[in-house]
Chain A
């Protein structure tokens, strides 16, 4: 047995790059501080201090990420993380998305049962997990970061403790999400078995040198990894949970999930395909292309018959995941840039619909199409933002959505996948059907409501026109801001495009 007790002679402690890690520490510390601050009783602390701490944490972390932009890329902590522009841009996106969610949740009745501190703290933890995932450089970090953002998200989906739908959504997401995680873990384990390493860079080296590209173990591992990621990114045919969970979860959480979860998974997919398994690109490219087509078709068809706005946005999110996947399929700098850019503008396009849903839910009108009737007359600011967002989501010109799709199409054509570009265009045409239906419901269904306003019914229902926009100025403000963003960046996409280009170059130059 003595031979077993091999004493490690000199263990060298890893160097810790504190400067680069500051934004992550801010998030981790902020989550804990927010949690403890919520123990202070009293209305001021609960409604003022706790949200303020959460917002301050997110903004501070965001500032540190932003300061770091264009810094030298750093491999941190023995190569567990790589904090480059891709990681920073995506982290800023997660933070912005969480801030939107906090604004939507700020005066929500949900939070009191669940606990304000717990809600904000878990939300910050989710952001931390996503930020870690976007910079992960080895399979172990990938899995832990994925779980770090998934587990609090399962619970956040069930945050509306008084509503059965929310609890059901939490359970459903937990079961499907765990299945996805397990599949992913299986894939990662087989990949490790085939290549002998968990580091992205070492996997790349093993794949390009050792001619194991046709190894069944490796291919099954990569395939299972993609299946696991497809569950998280709601890529068809692994998307079935999306509409159900979106519908059941509290709206602020859905708003966050719709953008941030997708962005986090796509950040990982970009890194994994661009850094780790690039040498066997011929094997996965056709598979991902097929998945993209299926996802675009299924998402757009599914969205058409929906009665609930949240389900519609769920299916629309599936279709958008298909568009985003096109940028990954071509596996070029152009493709990565297009995916990152589309993800950035997706944030702007998605905020207004969820702000409107939140406003209608608070007015007691529900989140179905019926709740939208007459919105154009009652709250023109909300209705206009919603209209612009719908037009942007469908990809019509002078909106950011149009520019985003244009870059995706450019990348597809450049990467010899011109037929995928055709699918994007056809998908966008299909999507007009349901996006315009939403617009029509807002502006054309005013008759019934107009008469009820006159008779005073709507005042009883808490949906009088005056009260509607003055009661939640924060919702109107954020919807208008986001809609303005989707127009401004549609006319002048320069700044976002630069960010996206830097992000794409920062991780692709590794392999070039």
Chain B
């Protein structure tokens, strides 16, 4: 229990520190690294809640795959040389106010529920009767109760891939309109 407590505070500090660093660091590359720290700390928090599946998914999908993509993009477009642009004017000045308002609202919501759990000892070690959130249970739910969302998710990924390819194709440059071009092509030149 003591070890859990220590681990919790380390992970919590890592999560908050990482999130703050993402916003505050000037160099996009360091921001991405801070985000990795943040996501790693979140995975530890999930593990402390006995949500092994989510912890593993968090590490593999976010800290692993997504972040590698971010690192590639940042180093590809040379983000390190260009610090994030200032400017923006009024929207930029308003942004902290809205963010603060959202923080207050969420804090209110959490104060109502999370604070009541302060005296408890966190999640219980699951046993056979109480297998909530284990990988087995998640797998079973995905193929029974949540079969449709599971299938829709796969279709969604296919469609998103099609979308990405359609948009990426224009990198080769747009070709001249050919025989397949519209009967009404004269409208195009005027745009």
Interface residues of A (CB under 8 A from B): 3-8, 11-14, 16, 28, 31, 35, 43, 46-47, 76-81, 107-109, 112-115, 118, 121-122, 125, 128, 132, 140-141, 144-145, 147-148, 151-152, 154-155, 158, 161-163, 190, 193-194, 215-217, 219-221, 223, 361-364, 366, 462, 471-472
- Partner of A216 from the list B109, B134, B143 (CB cut-off 8 Å) is B109
- Tell me whether A11 and B140 are in contact (CB under 8 A): yes
Q: What is the CB-to-nearest-CB distance from B56 to chain A, in angstroms, rounded to a whole number?
A: 13
- Tell me whether B144 and A144 are in contact (CB under 8 A): no
| Contact size range, B | 35 or more
A145 to B149, CA, bound (A): 8
- Tell me whether B162 and A80 are in contact (CB under 8 A): no
Interface residues of B (CB under 8 A from A): 52, 105-106, 108-113, 125-128, 131, 134, 136-137, 140, 143-149, 152-153, 155-156, 159-160, 162-163, 166-167, 169-170, 174-175, 177-188, 190-191
A122 to B185, CA, bound (A): 24
A118 to B180, CA, bound (A): 15
A193 to B106, CA, bound (A): 13
Chain B residues within an 8 Å CB radius of A148: 152, 155-156, 159
A28 to B154, CA, bound (A): 12
- Tell me whether B109 and A217 are in contact (CB under 8 A): yes
- Tell me whether B113 and A193 are in contact (CB under 8 A): yes
- Tell me whether A6 and B149 are in contact (CB under 8 A): no
- Tell me whether A112 and B184 are in contact (CB under 8 A): no
- Partner of B184 from the list A7, A78, A362 (CB cut-off 8 Å) is A362
- Tell me whether B131 and A361 are in contact (CB under 8 A): no
- Partner of A155 from the list B147, B155, B163, B182 (CB cut-off 8 Å) is B163
Known contacts A77-B148, A140-B146; 17 additional CB pairs below 8 A are A4-B134, A8-B136, A12-B144, A78-B144, A80-B146, A107-B183, A107-B184, A112-B181, A144-B152, A147-B156, A151-B163, A155-B166, A216-B112, A217-B110, A364-B186, A462-B187, A472-B184
Chain A residues within an 8 Å CB radius of B159: 31, 122, 125, 148, 151-152
A76 to B148, CA, bound (A): 9
Chain A residues within an 8 Å CB radius of B144: 11-14, 78
Chain B residues within an 8 Å CB radius of A145: 152
A361 to B190, CA, bound (A): 9
Chain A residues within an 8 Å CB radius of B160: 151
A12-B144, A155-B166, A163-B191 in contact; A140/B181 too (CB < 8 A)?
no
A141-B152, A145-B152, A151-B160 in contact; A109/B136 too (CB < 8 A)?
no
A107-B183, A155-B166, A221-B109 in contact; A162/B188 too (CB < 8 A)?
yes
Q: What is the CB-to-nearest-CB distance from B76 to chain A, in angstroms, rounded to a whole number?
A: 19
Chain B residues within an 8 Å CB radius of A140: 146, 149
A148 closest partner in B (C-beta): B156
- Tell me whether B149 and A141 are in contact (CB under 8 A): yes
Chain B residues within an 8 Å CB radius of A7: 136
Chain B residues within an 8 Å CB radius of A118: 162, 166
A-B contact pairs, 5 of them (CB 8 A): A3-B128, A46-B180, A47-B180, A112-B182, A132-B152
A3-B127, A152-B159, A462-B186 in contact; A215/B145 too (CB < 8 A)?
no
A141 to B145, CA, bound (A): 11
- Tell me whether A107 and B145 are in contact (CB under 8 A): no
Chain A residues within an 8 Å CB radius of B106: 220
- Partner of A112 from the list B162, B177, B187 (CB cut-off 8 Å) is B177
